[in-house]
A and B are shown apart, each in its own frame.
Chain A
Amino acid sequence: MSGLKAAGLRLGLNGRAILGGVDVSFARGEVSAVIGPNGAGKSTLLACLAGLRRPDDGTVDLDDADIRRLSPRARARRMGFLPQTPEIAWSVDVETLVGLGRTPFVGALGLGAADREAVARALAATDMTGMSQRVVTTLSGGERARALIARALAGEPDWLLADEPMTGLDPGHQLDAADLFRKMAADGRGVVVTLHDLSLAARVADKIVVLAGGRVLADGRPAEALTPQVLAEAYGIEARVVAGAGGPVVEIVGRRG
């Protein structure tokens, strides 16, 4: 069965367990959200899932292939990854930046016609077509975030792993990004995002994994995973899930105890 599966992931750093035996699986055709307090191991988990960090123990299978056996290029063709603090080192224009997402496909000759079409589609999907010639240093924070999402989309991967892609987006563009992820899932791709906004997670995700202290605290549909008990244990807050007009809303009552 195709899917992204992690089994028994352990990773320690300076004697502290960042991941203490994580078993999770994500399905194609779904948007999955990984949530949890600061330091829960969300980013580390995502990096392991993306094959960018080697766990001390455990395996990651990407559509039934051990991710360590895939060449970096083959892996990159199947999986797009958006780091939490993305860097754009030089003042390139947006189109060039998005074109870097085609790196696993291009040879020595540079971008071909198919690559340019993919870049154009990624720009259109993120509403950045009109800004393709803008230099990235002149973009606002939200435009920059969208350009980076477009970069991750440009490879048109089967899987998109994004570490806090919504941070820095205004509510309107957060919804746009959520729609984009939903659309990718509808196309049969798998999307895994880490989020801090619980309501957004409840709204966008088919599946929520709650991580705390390097362990999976809850894993399931939003209604199953986002319970007052889980939120209390994970974040130390009193919260309840209420039905809102546009979907479930996590109302935070206060610090617990």
Chain B
Amino acid sequence: MKRPPPPLIWGALIAAIGLLALVSLAAGKVWVPFSAWAAPGADPRWAIIFELRLPRTVLAVVVGGALGLCGAALQGYTRNPLADPSALGVSSMASLGAVLTLYFGLTASTPWLLPAGAMVGAAIGVAVLLALSNTASSIATFILAGMVLNTMAGAGVALALSLAPNPWAVNEIVNWLLGSLTDRSVEEVRLALPFVAVGCGVLLTLGRDLDALTLGETGARSVGVRMDRVRLLLGLGVGLAAGTCVAVTGVIGFVGLITPHLMRPLVGARPGALLIPSALAGAVVVLAGDVAVRLIPSAGEVKLSVAMAAIGGPFFLALLVSMRRRMA
């Protein structure tokens, strides 16, 4: 099978990110033409670009990249094409952490508590996951542990919603649960970037191990892969990267699930070779989605997570149908 060389794939994806980033800076309720960019300071529209759209664009790239990478790493580890950060329960635990800060109304006085809560939630999720999957170290255990976390976190969020002290809290929680990139500032970028960078760096070291896991856990161990180390790094990387993403943008689904699928045929299905293209493609997908929600004519802005599900869901179903056909 003829495959494009990796640098070509990376180059094409980076070019797409660059192009979409320019559109993302220009697009929105107020369309900022490129002519306005030439006069920094003089044109009041500069504030829109710099204060609102630049952080938003950067966050879209960072979050999309992190989610794409997390999805690829988790699918490689679990050998399950349906795994992503939410399958592990990390996203929902992060969600629960953030929702609790909203529930107690702490965010009005100290806004940074929400992201902190999300990160703590993600950290707890990862810790529980590692503790559960340590003793009986099979992949089934790992996935089941994630499922348990998901269910418990979901129940926690539901409880917070049903016991919410007032309708505003409910409103706030629901609004946050529907992930979006609207009105994010440089603060969020500053908060997210270091954690995401470390998390992604950790995940990128796992390429060879994930390749070897193609042989199954026993096969991987027989070629010298240390599974305890892989699990630890995977948990750390996903916890940091995905946890931080949830903290700043809420849960944006489908990215981690779908981008590895888009890239897999291009790299010959090797999980290690999939990591970087998946990250880049994740950035493209989120960036494109975020531009799209701004261009859809509607009273309020469509939430990014909703738009992603609307675009991603049917696409994913079509993918499943074609996969089934190929297997049959």
Q: Give residues in A with beta carbon < 8 Å to B.
A: 47, 50, 52, 71-77, 79-83, 86-93, 96-97, 100-101, 103-104, 106, 108, 133, 135, 151, 155
Contact = CB atoms under 8 A, between A and B. Distances in A.
A89 B218 contact: no
A82 B270 CA distance: 20
28 contacts: A50-B222, A52-B218, A72-B221, A72-B226, A76-B223, A79-B222, A80-B222, A81-B219, A83-B218, A86-B216, A87-B215, A87-B216, A87-B218, A89-B79, A89-B214, A89-B216, A90-B214, A90-B270, A90-B271, A91-B269, A92-B269, A96-B270, A97-B214, A101-B223, A103-B211, A103-B212, A133-B1, A135-B269
Contacts of B79: 87, 89-90
A36 B223 CA distance: 27
B226 A92 contact: no
B190 interface: no
Residue of B212, B219, B268, B270 with most partner-chain A CB within 10 A:
B219
B300 interface: no
A47 B212 CA distance: 18
B225 interface: yes
Interface in B165-215: 207-208, 211-215
Nearest to B327: A137
B224 interface: yes
B275 to A, nearest CB: 12
A154 B79 CA distance: 23
Interface of B: 1, 79, 207-208, 211-216, 218-219, 221-226, 264, 268-271
Contacts of B270: 90, 92, 96
Nearest to A75: B224
Given A92-B268, A96-B270, A103 B216 contact: no
Contacts, number: 82
A108 B225 CA distance: 14
Given A97-B214, A100-B211, A135-B269, 17 more contacts: A47-B218, A71-B224, A72-B226, A74-B224, A77-B224, A87-B219, A89-B79, A89-B215, A100-B214, A100-B215, A103-B211, A103-B223, A106-B208, A108-B207, A135-B1, A151-B215, A155-B223
Contacts of B1: 93, 133, 135
B214 A83 contact: no
Nearest to B224: A76
Contacts of B268: 92-93, 96
Given A87-B215, A106-B208, A151-B215, A81 B222 contact: yes
A105 B316 CA distance: 38
A187 B79 CA distance: 37
Contacts of B215: 86-89, 100, 151
A92 B214 CA distance: 9
B222 A52 contact: yes
Nearest to B274: A90
A89 B213 contact: yes
Contact of A104 (B216, B218, B224, B269): B224
A50 B220 CA distance: 13
Contacts of B271: 90
A249 to B, nearest CB: 33
A104 B218 CA distance: 14
